[in-house]
Amino acid sequence: MTPVDLTKLPDYLKQQRWFSGKAWPIKSVSVVDHATLDFGPCAFSLAIVEVQYELGHPERYLLPVKPSADGIQDALDDVECLRALFQLIREKREVSSASGKVHGEWLSTSDGMVSLPEQPAVRRLMVEQSNTSVVIGEKAILKIIRKLESGVNPEHEMGRFLATRTSFRATPTLLGALHLEGAAGATLAVVHRFVPNAVDGWKYTLEQFRKSGVESTFLDEMKELGRRLGELHRALSSDSTEPAFTPEPVLQEDLQRWSASIMGELGVTLAEAGKHHPDLERQRERLMEHARRLAHVTPSGQKTRIHGDLHLGQVLRAEGQWLIFDFEGEPSRTFTQRREKYSPLRDVAGMVRSFDYAEATVLLEGGAPGPRMVPSRDAFLAGYREATRGAPFLPTDDATFWTMLRAFELEKLLYEVRYEMQNRPDWVRIPVQALLRMEEPK
């Protein structure tokens, strides 16, 4: 029996903040799998619905729903249902679905021994757009994944690897997950250790940048952030027994492929942005040379798993320490693309660009120019290089290190230009000005 009123689904979906298809006409919605959970005071269904649009590819969403006179009611509005969902994971229960099964996973790690009362306090976080997150007893955070994709979920895979195969703990550790097996198989939820009183790195950096200049204490913290990233990269390259994480040598064909990809993105980006910023079009050859040089360096270093979407908003400052989190990768990429091994310098480039955005944000707010971005960037890079000295995943010489980093920074800048043109036209000058500032290739 279908657990939801299909006739009311299109209107229901378009009212949900996590539904990304609001702008597109919906052709049909169908339930492709569902499981009934009946635990004590709460009975509800986990429904997997597929949305077919008039144009474009179909999408799948997770709907935890309860019976209602209105046809559809979000079960996550009920505290008891939230507790039941968490217990399903914590107790590693298994429930049959229409075409497979739903089962909870709880890791046997020291963090997994977290102590919680039988009826823990539950509070929903209202800050997210694409998922639903719930703090359980102020010790764990349950993220229910709304938009589903088949295949290996990189956030679960990365978190599980770090928690069970490495000693890296500068992250909110993965505790468990909820999986659906069967034709509509997917990871439905993940649970991490909750970090109270944490400030995200973006807000923390902006507070410092709003001062006329950054203090030596903050620069020490930026150096420490660089070291944390270096330690993460060492951890991600530390196991040669798991194929998905085994480092692989960077080959000439990798460099050529990355170079060609960046040159292609440069052409597409300048074709559009050059209409509004003619100065950018005049720099085409100089920028193209940064990408070309990537193809001609002597191959060295390794491809490894990386964070994949690293910036100041993906780190936390808590109790005087930096934590790196959110390993799901760039949302616009497929799971397969997010799991691809790459040069760790791509992560470094993402963080370096984030400092420029923090500086530009302060200036847009009316703040006075000051020595902030360059000292912070240099401190971060110094910490990273200190923590990765001699690491096999990095190029063997400084010249190649900087050539690769500049090329990946260019790649990130081009992505930023396209993103800002589509979403925040007033901000496009930030990456455009950075492109114009890029040094001549050496």
**Residue 1 pLDDT exceeds 60:** no
**Residue 262 pLDDT exceeds 90:** yes
Over the stretch 8-34, which tens digit does the pLDDT of each residue have? 899 999 999 999 999 899 999 999 999
According to CATH, the topology of domain 199-437 is Aminoglycoside 3'-phosphotransferase; Chain: A, domain 2 (3.90.1200)
**What residue segments make up the domains of the chain, in order of their start?**
6-193, 199-437
Over the stretch 266-290, which tens digit does the pLDDT of each residue have? 999 999 998 889 999 889 999 999 9
Average pLDDT of the residues in 139-157: 95
* CB contact burial 234-261 (16+ within 10 A = b; e otherwise): bbbbeeeeeeebebeebeeebbeebbee
pLDDT of 52 reads: 97
Q: What is the CA radius of gyration of the chain?
A: 23
**Residue 244 pLDDT exceeds 90:** yes
**Residue 2 pLDDT exceeds 80:** no
For the chain, the helix, strand and coil percentages under 3-state DSSP, each to the nearest 5: 45, 20, 35
DSSP string covering 220-281: HHHHHHHHHHHHHHHHHTS-SSSTTT--EE--HHHHHHHHHHHHHHHHHHHHHHHHH-HHHH
At residue 66, what is the residue type?
K
3-state class of 203 per DSSP?
Answer: helix
In terms of Cα–Cα distance, which of 205, 157, 188 is closest to 328? 157
Q: How far apart are CA 275 and CA 277, in angstroms?
A: 6
Over the stretch 99-121, which tens digit does the pLDDT of each residue have? 999 999 999 988 878 888 889 99
- How far out from the chain centre does Cα 51 lie? 24
pLDDT of 427 reads: 92
Residue 225 CB partners (closer than 8 Å, separation 6+): 201, 315, 322, 351, 380, 383
pLDDT of 128 reads: 66
